[in-house]
Chains A and B, each alone.
Chain A
Amino acid sequence: MADKPRIKLPKEAAKGEVIQIKTLVAHVMESGQRKDAQGKPIPRKIINKFTCEFNGRPVFACALEPAISANPYIQFDAKVEEAGTFKFSWTDDDGSVITAEEKIALKA
């Protein structure tokens, strides 16, 4: 997947504020249920795990099944107590991992 994941979150937050994070990654999420023109089943290829960490501590994770739509969109919240870095990862069925990072600062 050449496309960069799209992540939306505020640049800065007050201490203790709960912010909303929206993520979207380009992926076919092939369910394994569909058949090609020859009637052969198309093998499953999905993102089966999404994780979000903040300064090395887990914030949110999600195990995904084929029932998740193509280009998985995941929205969740995070409580910000300190400035730091969010790390996101999407794990593919084939073992490859898409990662991204976003920094957040504390409001002065």
Chain B
Amino acid sequence: MKAINRRQAFALGGGFVMLTLMPMAADAEVTNDAAKWIEKFTGGKQPAKGKISLDLPEIAENGNTVPLSISIESPMTAESHVKEVMLLADGNPNAGVATLMFTPLSGKAEASVRIRLAATQNVVAIAKMSDGSLFTEQKTVKVTIGGCGG
């Protein structure tokens, strides 16, 4: 290995600073257009934390089918119900996973699907209520075998 000169040392140090300054503290990083999806869904409004319980395995052995369950606290009446829920995976080639549309006839704002995850990443859920308020929740899933390409 070659000894590093002063200039390279600087570059390295700078890189480290950049890394530590990155807002994503988790070990998964955003690699796709998730931000665009969120922007489109929320219209720029900042969703609040809470109301959503997102159930995903902490470690998924097979990224081809990862069970996902979501339930949102809501009376589900005509006046107050969950309208839409967007599910995103920020480390997949495409951020979109699914958009669930509920009505008061749903009775409960609960659903389960099975999703594909390409790598270890965050799964994000954003719920839009009938009064326009937004809620969000996210979970990190460690993926052993990726579920895309191959």
Contacts and interface: CB of A to CB of B under 8 A. Distances in A.
Contacts of A72: 113-114
A contacts with B: majority SS: strand
B149 interface: yes
A90 B145 CA distance: 29
Interface string A24-42: 0000000101110000000
Contacts of A68: 97-98, 113-116
A66 B116 contact: yes
A68 B100 CA distance: 13
A60 B102 contact: yes
Interface stretch (A2-10, A75-83, A92-100): A75-83
Interface stretch (B16-24, B45-53, B104-112, B124-132): B104-112
Nearest to B115: A67
A65 B98 contact: yes
Interface residues of A, number: 29
Contacts of A76: 100, 106, 110-112
A60 B98 contact: no
Counting contact residues on chain B (CB < 8 A from A), the size range is: 20 to 34
A60 B114 contact: no
A44 B92 CA distance: 15
A75 B115 contact: no
A62 B107 contact: no
B106 A77 contact: yes
A65 B96 contact: yes
Given A62-B99, A63-B99, A65-B97, A74 B113 contact: yes
Contacts of B103: 57-60
Interface of A: 18-19, 31, 33-35, 54, 57-70, 72-79
14 contacts: A33-B93, A34-B149, A35-B149, A58-B101, A59-B105, A60-B111, A62-B113, A66-B94, A68-B97, A68-B115, A69-B66, A73-B112, A78-B105, A79-B104
Which 4 pairs, one residue from A and one from B, show the smallest C-beta to C-beta distance? A79-B107, A18-B107, A65-B96, A75-B112
Given A60-B102, A64-B98, 12 more contacts: A34-B148, A34-B150, A58-B103, A62-B111, A67-B94, A68-B116, A69-B65, A69-B116, A73-B112, A74-B112, A77-B108, A78-B105
